[in-house]
Amino acid sequence: MKKNMGSLDKKIRVALAAVLILLYFTDMITGTFGILALIVATLFVLTSLVSFCPLYTFLGIKTLNKH
């Protein structure tokens, strides 16, 4: 698994995950949409931790900036 995510991409994903989690636990999003938001938040955090997004590989996207 080659890294394909840059640091800005990872920071944005973690920030979005935090917002989704906050919205869920403050009951601003509930039900099925709330569960989906938690799943997306979990995926964002996990992909940020490993610096790899499988969807990016499929789409040919690479935000990693190697010097």
pLDDT tens string 6-64: 999 999 999 999 999 999 999 999 999 999 999 999 999 999 999 999 999 999 999 99
**CA atoms in the 13 A half-sphere facing the CB of 30:** 3
Cα end-to-end distance, the chain, whole Å: 20
Determine the pLDDT at residue 67. Answer: 61
pTM for the structure as a whole: 0.88
Cα 41 from Cα 36, distance rounded (Å):
9
Higher pLDDT, residue 32 or 66: 32
